[in-house]
Amino acid sequence: MYNEKFIIKKAAPLSGTVKVSGSKNAALPILAAALLCEEEIQLENVPNLSDISVMLELLTGLGAKAERNGKNLKICCKSITNNVPDYETTKKIRASFLLAGALLGRFGSCSMPMPGGCGIGLRPVDLHLKGFSAMGAKISLEHGLVHIEAQNLTGGSIYLDFPSVGATENIILAAVLAEGTTFIYNCATEPEIVDLANFINLMGGKVEGAGTDSITVHGVYGLHGCKSRIMPDRIEAGTYMLMAAAVKGSDLTITNIIPQHLSPVIHKLSETGVQIITGDNYIKVNSKNDIRNTDIKTLPYPGFPTDMQAQFMALMTTGSGSGIIRETVFENRFMYVAELNRMGADIKIDGRSAVVNGVHRLSGTNVKATDLRAGAALITAALMAEGTTEIGEIQHIDRGYENIEEKLRAIGADIQRIREE
Ligand code: UD1
């Protein structure tokens, strides 16, 4: 066994161009959707990330054939031999629960480990199950496994008490091959849902309204193979924007993106004094001004993304004045704050709010990534901090940032990955 760490030194201004990879959170449900089709699917712009490898391992474990060639992936789910994904592998990523909707849609039943708590909160799946029940499925829980079975999966009408991204995706996946029409109200409107719906429609499915808060899925009898491209990762893009904003004097261009997806991040960063120019598929971030702290409230899309909360907190640690960050999506997403405070930040937590009082400077020390976006926040802080920062538990960062150290080095950061036995 070995551990990997990042060693990061205070950065000179970041400059040049970062090319953003394909979206992890779009690729994961799209890979689950491939299960619905018996013909070959070709995907482009698939990011090389550990979460994607886990999803592919789960699919091949069920009998899928997958072939990766750089960012291109061919996958064929003709010969699926079982409907119980490997227990230990499913526990590695929460998104594995998306296989429930796809397996239910294709085979009428599945058994999945019930997801437990995770680094950022309880994250139950009650809304996913509520959707499956409304479509006629019977659900039972035994020895930590949730069994979902429908003799005849039929369209249903579902109101989500919260616009959950995963529940919206799972219900769409179950509905694609169900008999009749499914209506999902108060659903999530994230761009990744639109990417999933576009992909399903390319295979011959009929998903309408993705990107709005009500989606209609007309069940079809079968799907055919297709070629599709994964959308750019808006959270990866936002993370590099925050890093450039944090290192004073940076002038960074972030390309291969859809700027509209980053609208809340652009607006809140502008409030802090960072200069931003947007083009067709790029954003330029110029951080010649001092950061003025502001207030943030995380919300479902198109609100400020919870997945950008930690990185914004890191930026505000050395901004002028105070700012309040309110986390409304997850109940426990401030675990990393203790690590920022160990670097000299002044952040106080009160329930779901964090009060950030800007300090003059951070100083490097040994810290640990508590989850994926917390890891990105610690890198952001390390780039600003005096001296050297050592970040442990970086397997969390590898779940969602493709080639992060190469990308950062190319824009002037001093970051090394070291391996310890
Ligand atoms: C997805 C993203 C994740 C992002 C999150 C919110 C993927 C793979 N992950 O996660 O990066 O942070 O959206 O934008 O796309 N909830 C319930 N019951 C449910 C389902 C969810 O109470 O059945 C709650 C969760 O506990 C959480 C909130 O709803 O508090 C949002 O969760 P959800 O939108 O489902 O997030 P994920 O799909 O898990």
The domain spans of the chain are 3-21+232-420, 24-229
Q: Angle at Cα 406 formed by Cα 255 and Cα 58, nearest 5°? A: 85
Q: What are phi and psi of 50, to 5 degrees?
A: -65, -35
- 3-21+232-420: CATH superfamily: Enolpyruvate transferase domain (3.65.10.10)
Is the distance from the beta carbon of residue 307 to the nearest atom of ligand 1 less than 6 Å?
Answer: yes
> What are the distances in angstroms from CA 50 to CA 160, 253, 403?
30, 26, 11
pLDDT at 91: 87
Is the distance from the beta carbon of residue 128 to the nearest atom of ligand 1 less than 6 Å?
Answer: yes
Instruction: To the nearest 10°, report the CA torsion of 22, 28, 33, 37.
Output: 70
pTM of the model: 0.97
Contact 34, 41 (CB under 8 A): yes
Residues 6+ apart with CB under 8 A from 117: 123
Give the position, in ligand 1's atom list, of the atom nearest the Cα of 307.
Answer: 12
Any alpha helices (H) in 135-190, and if so which ranges?
Answer: 165-175
Partners of residue 214 on adjacent β-strands: 185
Q: Which residue's CA is the closest to the ligand 1 atom numbered 35?
A: 164
Best substitution site from 28, 165, 297 to test ligand 1's pocket, by max atoms within 8 Å of Cβ? 165
- Residues of the chain short of pLDDT 50, as ranges, are none
d(CA 42, CA 280): 26
Question: Of 368, 384, 373, whose CA–CA distance to 315 is shortest?
Answer: 384
> What are the distances in angstroms from CA 24 to CA 21, 27, 41, 350?
9, 5, 17, 31
For 24-229, the fitting CATH number among 3.65.10.10, 3.40.50.300, 3.40.190.10, 3.40.920.10 is 3.65.10.10
Question: Of 303, 210, 228, whose CA–CA distance to 261 is shortest?
Answer: 303
Q: Do domains 3-21+232-420 and 24-229 have the same CATH topology?
A: yes
> Structure tokens of 347?
């952040």
| 289 Cα to the center of ligand 1, angstroms | 35
Give the position, in ligand 1's atom list, of the atom nearest the Cα of 25.
Answer: 15
pLDDT at 119: 66
DSSP classification of residue 249: T
pLDDT at 45: 98
| 164 Cα to the center of ligand 1, angstroms | 5
Is the distance from the beta carbon of residue 189 to the nearest atom of ligand 1 less than 6 Å?
Answer: no
Which sequence positions are flagged as catalytic? 118
> Structure tokens of 362?
């951070």
Task: Supply the DSSP string of 255-292, one letter for each residue.
Answer: ESS-GGGGHHHHHHHHHTT-EEEE-SSEEEEE--SPPB
Count, residues in the chain:
421
| Strand 366-368 relative to strand 388-392, pairing | parallel
| Chain-centroid distance, C-alpha 241 | 16
